[in-house]
Amino acid sequence: MSNLKQGLFVVFTGAPGCGKGTQARILKERTHICHLSTGEMLRQFAEKDTPLGRSLKAALERGEFASDAMIIEMVKNRIAEPDCANGFILDGFPRTLPQAEVLEDMLAEQNVKLSAVLEIQVPDEIIMERILGRYACMQCGAGYHDKFQKTKIYGVCDVCGGTEFARRQDDNRGTVQNRLVNYRLLTYPTIPFFEARGLLKTVDGTGTIDAVSRKIEDVLGLRDDV
């Protein structure tokens, strides 16, 4: 008899700016499973004035990846926490083939089977516009866009009422180009890896935020009105 854990265990993958974080936050709101963004975790480390923090900050500003060993340790500890027991959305992990291989072993040890790996596909021209217009509330982290996702009241966060916003250090044209190169070189090989395991689902990420989230819910079998 199988004693696999029940729940929704998904990976969101795709190029920088394709909408992983936006869609993960929407899915979390709907399902209450945990949202684990390795990019967010690294940005928190990078704020610390320590040797590791400073070297991470520099790497992120250049659009370079953190080491597999560090990321794997971080994810391993995080998914063992109780709020991940009934499901998780991995946003930005795995990002290399070694990370994908370790994830497979890590989940097998915990009797977890991935429900799906969702690749959100968006062409490069759209990506640049999305990333360069992105900003977030400094108080609660809610994400916005100059053109595509404005606050309801100018200068006031819809979620917490905060009035201070920030843009990411790695959201400049040069760094985005490096992030895209690294995506193709290091992350793209994980796509056939998951396809070979029957887990890959591709989603066209070019519609509105609502349209893309409806597509994701369809693919995950979460919509009851279709």
Q: Which residues bind ligand AP5 (CB under 6 A)?
A: 16-22, 37-39, 42, 60, 63-66, 71, 92-93, 95, 99, 130-131, 133-134, 143, 145, 148-149, 179, 205, 207-209, 212
Least Å from the CB of residue 33 to Mg ion: 17
Q: Is there a catalytic annotation at residue 113?
A: no
**Which residue, 4 or 58, has its beta carbon nearer to ligand AP5?**
58
Q: Is there a catalytic annotation at residue 214?
A: no
Least Å from the CB of residue 20 to Mg ion: 5
Q: Among residues 25, 57, 95, 215, which one is catalytic?
A: 95
Least Å from the CB of residue 3 to ligand AP5: 29
> Cα separation of 218 and 93, whole Å?
22
Q: By C-alpha distance, which of 130, 156, 128 is closest to 142?
A: 156
Q: Which two tokens stand for residue 195?
A: 């396809």
Q: Which two tokens stand for residue 191?
A: 């796509």
Q: Are 120 and 13 in contact (CB under 8 A)?
A: yes
Q: By C-alpha distance, which of 120, 64, 66 is closest to 89?
A: 120
> Cα separation of 35 and 88, whole Å?
6
Q: Among residues 57, 179, 201, 215, which one is catalytic?
A: 179
Strands 165-166 and 134-137: antiparallel
**Which residue, 25 or 31, has its beta carbon nearer to ligand AP5?**
25
Q: Is there a catalytic annotation at residue 95?
A: yes
Q: Which two tokens stand for residue 117?
A: 């790996």
**Which residue, 31 or 37, has its beta carbon nearer to ligand AP5?**
37
Residue 209 interacts, among ligand AP5, Mg ion, none and using kind-specific CB cut-offs from 5 to 8 Å, with ligand AP5
Helix (H, G, I), strand (E, B) or coil at 101: helix
Q: Is there a catalytic annotation at residue 134?
A: yes
With vertex at residue 224, the alpha carbon angle to CA 122 and CA 217, rounded to the nearest 5 degrees, is: 20
State which of residues 14, 21, 63, 87 lies at the interface with Mg ion (CB under 5 A).
21
Residues engaged in binding Mg ion (CB under 5 A)? 21
Active-site residue numbers? 20, 95, 134, 168, 179
